[in-house]
């Protein structure tokens, strides 16, 4: 019984680790899009777009911090 529980826990943490990696990959991809949009915003002088991008970037920063904490918790 304990062995089955240990296997289930290991599988659970492996799944979390996999999802964390996917989240980090998506954040990197979206950051590239934000950076490209920011360049365009500066080029055309769209301050509203730049403000929106700041908010989006803040949102993804919180997600990144949360995924880092989750990853740290899983590795302990």
Please identify which residue in the block is written with the tokens 């991008």. Answer: 53
All structural domains of the chain with their residue ranges: 45-76
The pLDDT, as a whole number, for residue 25 is: 92
> Does 56 score more than 80 pLDDT?
yes
pLDDT digits (tens, 9 = 90+) for 1-29: 556 676 667 788 788 888 888 988 998 99
What is the spatial distance between Cα 63 and Cα 74, in angstroms, rounded to a whole number? 16
Lowest mean pLDDT among 26-30, 36-40, 42-46: 26-30
pLDDT digits (tens, 9 = 90+) for 57-76: 999 899 989 988 888 887 76
């Amino acid at each position: 019984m304990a062995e089955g529980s240990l296997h289930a826990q290991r599988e659970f943490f492996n799944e979390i680790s996999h999802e964390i990696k996917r989240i980090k990959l998506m954040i990197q991809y979206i950051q590239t899009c934000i950076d490209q949009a920011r360049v365009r915003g500066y080029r055309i002088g769209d301050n509203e777009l730049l403000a929106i991008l700041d908010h989006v970037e803040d949102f993804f920063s919180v997600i990144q911090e949360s995924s880092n904490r989750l990853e740290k918790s899983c590795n302990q």
